[in-house]
Amino acid sequence: MKSFLPALSLLLLCTAAEAQQKPVAPQSLSAVKPATDGRVWGALIFATNNTAQLTGAAEQAPTHLPKLNERLAKVFPFKHFEILGQHQQDIFREYESWVVPSRDLFMKIDSKGPADKGGVNLHLQVWREQQVLVKSDAVLRAGSPLFIGGPPWKEGRLIFVLSLDRK
């Protein structure tokens, strides 16, 4: 065992000397950003006909979606719409993305690449806590939001809205 100690200490000295001669730039994990296929805005909206059910703490819709309430009223049989929560998220090319406008209802997004005529091909999963409620493939294009009717809630219904924010 004694015979290995001088050789080991000589090896450590050589390695330390080489490390001093070759400067190495520090690696930063934050400098590496994954590729994206765009950015989405997602919101959880409460739709109702009873104004007494509204919380009064509605958040503002993004500027890229003018007249959101009017558009929702054309699809869903409700008069009042309130944004309960919203979230912006990059759509990663090789990783799943999560849009989480509330702690109970959220969406998993997997990009399937660019769509013909613009937009992004997506595989979507709407989750409620630990359960998948909906799985679907969709093409999301700028100016054309996706409306997903969710479960009944209070005297109305929850709606998930997903919109391509920018490409």
How many residues does this entry show for the chain? 167
What's the token pair of residue 39? 């950015």
Please report, as a single letter, which amino acid is at residue 53: Q
Are 142 and 161 in contact by the 8 Å Cβ rule? The answer is no
Q: What are phi and psi of 3, to 5 degrees?
A: -70, -25
pTM: 0.73
- pLDDT (tens place) for every residue of the chain, 167 residues total: 445 444 433 333 333 444 455 454 455 555 666 788 888 999 999 999 998 888 777 788 888 888 999 999 999 999 999 999 999 998 888 788 898 888 888 899 999 999 988 899 999 999 888 899 889 999 999 889 999 998 898 899 999 999 998 64
Q: Domain extents for the chain?
A: 31-166
